[in-house]
Structure 1
Amino acid sequence: MDKPIYTDTYFRIESGYEWGRGMSEEKTEAFFAEIRNLFSQNGFTIEERKYGGCPDVVLDKTRLYCHPQELSGPVRKELIERIEKILTQGTTFRYLRTDTYGELLDLTEEEELASYHEVHDRTIEEVLREVFRTRARNLYRYREQVLEGIAGKLRISTLRERNSCTSFSPVWRYVREAYGKMVAKGELIEGYKQTGSGKLPLCRTATDKELKTNKQKGDGTKSEE
């Protein structure tokens, strides 16, 4: 059975809220009371945040952060129209429009990692070779900056990590594993730059001569100068 598709969704509303000024306490209380009532009557759960402020309305893995200007979060696609109809019933606010910003996949960390292997295993080494390639052996690229760029391009937006990723994210694990294998094979050459705060890791793609030498070492033969 296929998993449901979620979208990063913003339901724009007009409640009289102004940036920097907000709304009166009376309007704010009336707005949140109506939001809680409308959604609870339609099968949603209201979850208050630990430190107060705007609540979330939740139905399974659909979760909307309720701000007086917009309700935003991951929404199961078939629920979008239903939520729009709920919002049109508002009296303390006016529903304006719905903006969507891409699909979010409901994947475990293992499923996400497996997806990277399935889609990118045939190309990741060539990608790494190209991004770390320099014009000369004494030129290097900043390792973390380059790897971060690759991870950002490959990253799948998920319900777990909608807008960003950490150093422990599956995409980072995938990129670093591929990078580590190429370093171990001598296809990428690491270096360091001494800075005031310590050593800055660098990297470059091995030259054809270095690759030939590494291969001969692996074969147990001597390289010819």
Structure 2
Amino acid sequence: MEKRILLVEDEITIQKVVKMNLELEGYEVIVSANGKDALELAKNQYFDLIVLDIMLPEVNGFEICEQVRLNNKEIGIIIVSAKDNAEDRVLGLKMGADDYLAKPFNLEELLLRVEKLISRRTKTERATSEVYQFGDNRINFSSYEAHGNGKDLVLTKKEAQLLQLLIERKNEAVSREQILKTVWGYDVFPATRTIDNFLLSFRKYFEKDPKNPEFFKSVRGIGYKFTDK
């Protein structure tokens, strides 16, 4: 599964160099040069890691870090900043950053730190049990067997993959485009109701009241999210 990185950097030269090198390492990179826009991206899209400058237009990196961390305990955050005194480093870590790298930085060192944080999250995801239970429902991701609404089910491979993606990203909105790219391998969203139909099936399988879903919810203008309290 291709890992997604949000690169928040308003120095265009640095932005282009870092983006290119991250993409060469196999990551999907979304860039933002504005703090307010970065917050919207972090709120509405899924990312495995954020590479974050501090001095940004509208909203600074410390505020972004704090707000993102309040809603997402798992995402990796690396601050990359020209602000290199001890007070700023401590503040960045207090706001929830996992790492802090001062500018000018060694590009290879940044790539190694990114790889380390991505690997940590990947191991956490893999540690998820093959069998997942929510409510009175149960899914076995290795055998594609499931139990929902008192009935035994056999899922298709795509159904199991989509369910696993939504469950791994529990309580986070996942866009249709990202679902298609991750599960189907599409780079461009086709004019179909493919995902919508899959979610209708999931609600039929697992929701007591499909018209008022408890687990599989629509996020207007974005896609879907799985919620399991």
Fold match by TM threshold 0.5? no
TM-score by length of 2: 0.28
Structure number with the higher helix fraction is 2
**Quick one: higher RCO (CA 8 Å, sep 6+), 1 or 2?**
1
